[in-house]
Structure 1
Amino acid sequence: MTSDDMSRRLALLSLAAPFAVATRAEAQAPSFPTRPITLVVAFPAGGSSDVTARILADGMSRDLGQPVVVENRPGGATVVGTMAVVQAPKDGYTLLFASTSALTTNPHLYQNLPYKVSDFQPVSLVAVAPWIIAISLTVPARNLREFVDYARQRPGQLNYHTYGPGTGADLFASMVLASTGIRAEPIVYRGEAPALTALSTGEIQFMPASISGALIEQHKAGRIRIIAVADAARSPAAPDLPTFAEQGFTGLEANSWFGIAAPAGTPAPVVARLQRAVAAAIAMPEVRNRIDATGFTAQSSSTEELARIIDEHSRLWGGVISRLGIRLQL
């Protein structure tokens, strides 16, 4: 072997050495996950968001081989639960069941919000839920046009539900009122169940809400009437319900999204494994069917796609909040 051949061989060995070390290190590193994962839900137990998170957690547990435990941390307009994840170790064992409120509206609403969107690493979309308008049977309207005409003839006389200033229902209601010229009064309810009761009894005349299994069930039972879906297409959960655009009201398209986010700085291989687990769970027919039964539409995504959705919704709701001049303090 000549000295030139020896030099070339040593050079090739030196190039290969780092890869050999990396391969040995990867083989020795523990696989993820090796213990239970906590999925923090910033909403009370029992609602559609909580139910969806628990269905997903069951599917992810099966794919990951470790329990995914749902922990409800409601309060402070989702800030309590969101901060619990911000402050958690960046190891993939504490995740946020992220939502429109936490990552797209709160940053525009609250001047003293203790976290930033950049504190999170998007993992995957889980589900989307279009906004709808439901009305009381005490209102003599069969469709959106008849309801708008009825409400315009009674400025300030109709009531609608909200969960408080700046909440998703409140912002969507503001979009509807501005677009239709309706004037109505908000009444605050703590949860979907009391708001639905108020709608069915005529205490409130209409309800801007994110579609849910409970709403669809009450609609099908003839206790309330859903008259419009704020999406580009009809909801798979209720294909009989017409959209706003189908009834001549364009520009009223909005939905809520739900996904999984980890603390920013979580290792990329861990994020990738979690994303695959969400996709695998959503691909399970029983998981998809159970989520769809809540009224939500099950849908996984890449991390990049969820980041894009967060950005798009931030621009949409940020514009609404800016036009309304809403600035809140926690």
Structure 2
Amino acid sequence: MARRMAMTHPIGRALPRRRAVGAALGLALAGGPARGAAPWQPLRPVTLVVPYAAGGTADTLARPLAEGMAQRLGVPVVVENRPGAQTAIGAEAVARGPADGHRLLLSATATLTVNPLLRRDLPYRAEDFAPVALLATLPYAVAVRDGLPAALPDFIAHVRAFPGRVSLGHLGPGSSLHLAGALIAAGLGLAFNEVAYRSDGLAANDLMAGILDAAVLGGPAALAAARTGRAHLVAWTAAARLPGRPEEPVFAEAAPGLVATGWLGLHAPAATPPAAIARLNAAAAGTLHADPLLRERLQDQGLFLAEAGPPAAFAAHLAQERERLAALLARIGLRPGP
């Protein structure tokens, strides 16, 4: 059953910092090969570093993306999971690696928007990466184990009745899932016993096993858990109810402003040749656009493919996301660490 959706991403106003946008657009506009130049061709397998544990939301996209890009590039694209430190371990490995187009990062909201805002000890800078393509956007969901109230008003009442006793899983302090949970807690006056996981797939496993009471999950992990009948969706963090899922509420119905969504993208080391960036962008875009069934299958799992436009569009999107998340961090009182 096909479900088409134009995902409304709750991003902020256009970035007023002309220098930041100008630099981003300048970098991206240089992303195509010179006229008459031969297209860049990889000489060996390309490694796609996924900074999360295998089996989570990021893997849901990484595997079919690698397969499709391999067909278009003519060399294998190998997925390498390097989780830890809120994606910083995998990101650093790519930032410090060769800038020749053979090593890419499946970047996420935490990598280049949240981490630079929260961590002064970050082992990389946003400027260490060149944007290749925006791949997907995704809302998050809160799910509960079997036996806990799943209707949104009843869930809120239950958590308020047991402050600090309902366990809530997420991907650790500063992760996009943690920020979504913190926004919900602050907006609704809730207190949880927070538990950190290396991937939302692992959190979903504990949820289904009854070890964890509730969890903030990416769309694919949330829907997969709900389909087992051992976990139940409470609400989404999208701005409005998802088309095709009208029975599932959003937290913004309980209190205004409770909207948090994430993104997944493709980045390369900053010094990667523009011709390589252009070829990799085309391979990613071709993969996302070629198979309508892939788009529908991922949408059914709560992950909405982007148009994968030029690097310039991704650079502008990142600038807007940093502004939006800076406002969110201020609202929930999170400040940069030492």
Is the aligned partner of 1:63 residue 2:69? Answer: no
CA distance in structure 2 between the partners assigned to 1:82 and 1:127 by the alignment: 18
Specify the structure having the higher radius of gyration (Cα).
1
Structure 2 counterpart of 1:230, which letter? T
Is the aligned partner of 1:175 residue 2:175? Answer: no
1:85 alignment partner in structure 2: 94
State the Cα distance separating 1:280 from its structure 2 match: 0.6
Aligned pair count reads 302
5 Å-filtered alignment, 1:254-265, equals: 254-265=260-271
Q: Is the 8 A contact 1:138 1:205 kept in 2?
A: no
Is the aligned partner of 1:281 residue 2:287? Answer: yes
Gaps of 5+ in 1: 1-21
1:205 alignment partner in structure 2: 213
CA distance in structure 1 between the partners assigned to 2:280 and 2:199 by the alignment: 31
Q: Is the 8 A contact 1:228 1:244 kept in 2?
A: yes
State the Cα distance separating 1:87 from its structure 2 match: 1.6
Of 227-236 and 268-277, more deviation after overlay is shown by 227-236
State the Cα distance separating 1:157 from its structure 2 match: 2.9
Cα distance change of structure 1 residues 224 and 128 upon mapping to structure 2, 3 Å threshold: same
Of 264-273 and 108-117, more deviation after overlay is shown by 264-273
1:227 alignment partner in structure 2: 234
Of 76-85 and 147-156, more deviation after overlay is shown by 147-156
Structure 1 counterpart of 2:289, which letter? A
Q: Is the 8 A contact 2:40 2:275 kept in 1?
A: no
RMSD: 2.5
Cα distance change of structure 1 residues 141 and 235 upon mapping to structure 2, 3 Å threshold: closer
Q: Is the 8 A contact 2:168 2:212 kept in 1?
A: yes
TM-score by length of 2: 0.80
CA distance in structure 2 between the partners assigned to 1:230 and 1:68 by the alignment: 33
Is the aligned partner of 1:110 residue 2:119? Answer: yes
Q: Higher relative contact order by CA 8 Å / sep ≥ 6: 1 or 2? A: 2
Correspondent of 2:57 among 35, 48, 72: 48
2:302 alignment partner in structure 1: 295
1:50 is paired with a residue whose SS is helix
TM-score by length of 1: 0.82
Structure 2 counterpart of 1:125, which letter? L
2:312 alignment partner in structure 1: 304
State the Cα distance separating 1:114 from its structure 2 match: 1.8
1:226-282 CA-to-partner distances (Å, cap 9, x unmatched) read 12111123346855422223x342211111211111111322232122111111100
5 Å-filtered alignment, 1:131-142, equals: 131-142=140-151
State the Cα distance separating 1:219 from its structure 2 match: 1.7
Percent identical: 35
Structure 2 counterpart of 1:62, which letter? Q
Cα distance change of structure 1 residues 313 and 73 upon mapping to structure 2, 3 Å threshold: same
Q: Is the 8 A contact 1:210 1:255 kept in 2?
A: no
Is the aligned partner of 1:243 residue 2:241? Answer: no
2:131 is paired with a residue whose SS is strand
State the Cα distance separating 1:325 from its structure 2 match: 3.3
State the Cα distance separating 1:30 from its structure 2 match: 6.8
Of 102-111 and 159-168, more deviation after overlay is shown by 159-168
Question: Which has more helix, going by share of residues?
Answer: 1
Correspondent of 1:268 among 271, 274, 288: 274
Cα distance change of structure 1 residues 253 and 327 upon mapping to structure 2, 3 Å threshold: same
CA distance in structure 1 between the partners assigned to 2:62 and 2:93 by the alignment: 17
Structure 2 counterpart of 1:102, which letter? T
Is the aligned partner of 1:253 residue 2:262? Answer: no
Gaps of 5+ in 2: 1-33
CA distance in structure 2 between the partners assigned to 1:290 and 1:65 by the alignment: 25
Q: Is the 8 A contact 1:230 1:243 kept in 2?
A: yes
Of 59-68 and 252-261, more deviation after overlay is shown by 59-68
Is the aligned partner of 1:151 residue 2:152? Answer: no
Q: Is the 8 A contact 1:111 1:328 kept in 2?
A: yes
